[in-house]
Amino acid sequence: MRKLLREDHRHIFTLIHKFQLKRDTDQSGNSVSEKRFPKLSDRDDIIVICDEAHRTQYGQLAANIRDALPNATFVAFTATPLFVEDEKTRQIFGDYVSIYNFKQSVEDGATVPLYYIKGPPEVEVINKGLNAQIEALVEEANLDEDQIEKLRRKYPSEFNIITNDSRLELVAKHIVDHYMGRGYRGKAMVVSVDRFTAVKMYEKVQFYWNQRIQELEAKLARTSDYEKQIIQQDIKYMKETDMAVVISNSQNEIKKFKEKGLDIRPHRKRIISEDLDVKFKDEDNPLRIVFVCAMWMTGFDVPPVSTIFLDKPIRNHTLMQTISRANRVFKDKQSGTIVDYYGILRNLKEALAIYGSGSGGGLVEGDFPLRNIDDLEQNVKSNLDIMKRYFTD
């Protein structure tokens, strides 16, 4: 880098992880590191453009870059919202140069609007203090099994509620009912709190999926020809539909899943042997529903996705990026839907307090880009009443 900066290069590409402090050993063989990153250039005509300017751009590696290039100008790009309580990007890089927010992208047609549906109210968690603690911990990183287990021990009541088997039965049945009741049948993601629950949800949704097929087949004998045609189409669609679990690997996972009465082997085989990401992105491929807990929630762009079934305590940029899996423009897709089983609407409003506003300085009344499905239903009913009066007159 020092050599390149001494030469006449208009553009230099690097990674923030290159700016590690050098580690060496002392006379005793102990590992030691430099206390300060060495200066690479005094030039004041260097502009450092930082992509994905959040998280890592706030830490020691970012400080090392500034030690290396003390007179450089820093410009940041981020698609992550800046929050009222934690505007670190603004603190590190300075005030806004340009803002393009959620609301504007919907108005421009760059994204489709998102509709919010609250899942079954019987399973709502209302302990806000505990929720906030859980959300903060889960949102920090993709927890491994040991960390998840510590979380279970620290907040047993909360995890018992989230992963309660009878609760998951309700959620699974609702997922099947909602999925098959949609107008635009785009692809869907089911987001669970951990890897075990993702596999459980797959099994439970499969059960209610097959149960619905049997119910439709039994209904065929007592319906009109027109209704039969619709039911036969639904049966064909459901029998063709493929589902998959997409979760990260961990040590001794076969044993750990077996202890919980689950078999990870067929799922791991598919993850390893099949290009599930390619299949899921292909609108014509029958892989239509995936079950995840961390993978594919952020940075994974699948325009055919129209529905996110969200059953995980997340907030801030992770929440914003997760729901954005459903807002991509795609052919006849006119909107995306977030089905919330955990109760994250409050977190969405907080996350959009800046991201959704027209000025970047707070949410203005009427600007909230996530629309409640109840309002849409009321609007449809009002328009139907107008049509009825028109044809009657």
238 and 307 in a single domain? The answer is yes
Residue 16 lies in a domain: yes
Q: Are 285 and 275 in contact (CB under 8 A)?
A: no
111 and 55 in a single domain? The answer is no
What pLDDT score does 253 carry? 92
Residue 374 lies in a domain: yes
In this prediction, the residues of the chain whose per-residue pLDDT falls under 50 are 84-86, 141, 356-367
Domain finish residue from 45, 78, 111: 78
Residue 108 lies in a domain: yes
194 and 71 in a single domain? The answer is no
Q: Is 16 exposed, middle or buried (CB count within 10 Å of its CB: 0-12, 13-18, 19+)?
A: middle
Q: Cα–Cα distance between 283 and 287 in angstroms, integer?
A: 9
What pLDDT score does 28 carry? 67
How many distinct structural domains can be found in the chain? Answer: 2
108 and 73 in a single domain? The answer is no
What is the extent of the structural domain holding 229? 102-384
200 and 334 in a single domain? The answer is yes
66 and 209 in a single domain? The answer is no
E strand segments, 65-176: 73-76, 114-118
16 and 147 in a single domain? The answer is no
25 and 156 in a single domain? The answer is no
Q: Cα 78 vs. chain centroid, distance in angstroms?
A: 16
What pLDDT score does 225 carry? 83
119 and 12 in a single domain? The answer is no
Residue 248 lies in a domain: yes
41 and 119 in a single domain? The answer is no
Residue 164 lies in a domain: yes
What pLDDT score does 366 carry? 40
What pLDDT score does 260 carry? 92
Domain finish residue from 30, 63, 78: 78
What pLDDT score does 365 carry? 39
Q: Are 34 and 21 in contact (CB under 8 A)?
A: yes
What pLDDT score does 330 carry? 95
